[in-house]
Structure 1
Amino acid sequence: MDDPYSELLDAAGVAERTALAWQRTIIGVLAVGALVVRWSITERFPPWPGILLTTLAALGTLLLVRQRYRRVRDTVTAGQTPLSRYVVPGATAFMVVVVVGVGTGILLEYARF
């Protein structure tokens, strides 16, 4: 007997929601990067930490969102659960390294004054 709920699961919809969540996160990172650049210019610090953060977020957008969309769509279409054992922890670790690096750069600039 067929599963009566199989028609309710839209693989493209699930993948689209995942892609939109990634895009919202990266837009937030871009906004923080822009604020760091503005703050750096206002306080007469070098703007490289904000530029670095913004550049890495843009690269993340280009690489991760499209890849994740396809993976979730294909996994749901195959009838499996789109759990990620590597992408989410890897992206989290990457963002932690970026934020710590930018914070360290800002602290080093403050130490010079």
Structure 2
Amino acid sequence: MDDPDSELLDAAGVAERTALAWQRTIIGVLAVGALVVRWSIVERFPAWPGVVLTAAAALATLVLVRQRYRRVRDTVMAGQTPLSRYVVPGATALMVVIVVGVGAGILLEYAS
């Protein structure tokens, strides 16, 4: 009989779940960007803040999800932990900067 823990450490399964979690997060950011664009059009503000947010999320989808999938799969296959010291904090910092930038842009447009 196989070890029950071996099913939990299936490298492709772990990588797939991680990629799906990243995709869900980015889809949420895309939805928020679309709502910002819609709100900008209705309120007659420039649409660039929402476009920037949406473009950044789309770029993150193309780059980060594939890179993270490969890294998780390779590290699990090597018997190591797939935790990253740089990708998650870096992506979080990037999203915070983008959200603050978009918020500042909206605030400037709303104030004038």
TM-score by length of 2: 0.95
Corresponding residue for residue 22 of structure 2: 22
Corresponding residue for residue 4 of structure 1: 3
Instruction: For residue 7 of structure 1, report the CA deviation from its aligned partner.
Output: 2.8
Shift of 1:86: 0.2
2:102 matched to which residue of 1? 102
| 1:94, distance to aligned residue in structure 2 (A) | 0.2
Equivalences, count: 110
Alignment gaps of 5+ in structure 2: none
Structure 2 matches for 1:5-84, cutoff 5 A? Answer: 5=4, 7-8=6-7, 9-84=9-84
**In structure 1, what residue type is equivalent to 2:33?**
G
Equivalent residue, structure 2, for 1:89? 89
In structure 1, stretches of 5+ residues that fail to align are none
Report the identity percentage.
Answer: 84
AA partner of residue 13 (structure 2): G
TM-score normalised by length of structure 1: 0.94
Give distance in 1, aligned partners of 2:71 and 2:4. Answer: 22
Shift of 1:111: 1.0
Instruction: Name the one with the larger helix percent.
Output: 2
Match for 2:85: what amino acid? R
Give every structure 1 segment of 4 or more consecutive aligned residues whose post-TM-superposition deviation is greater than 4 Å. none
Partners of 1:73 and 1:67 lie apart in 2 by: 10
Q: Distance in 1 between matches of 2:5 and 2:96?
A: 38
Letter in 1 for 2:62: L
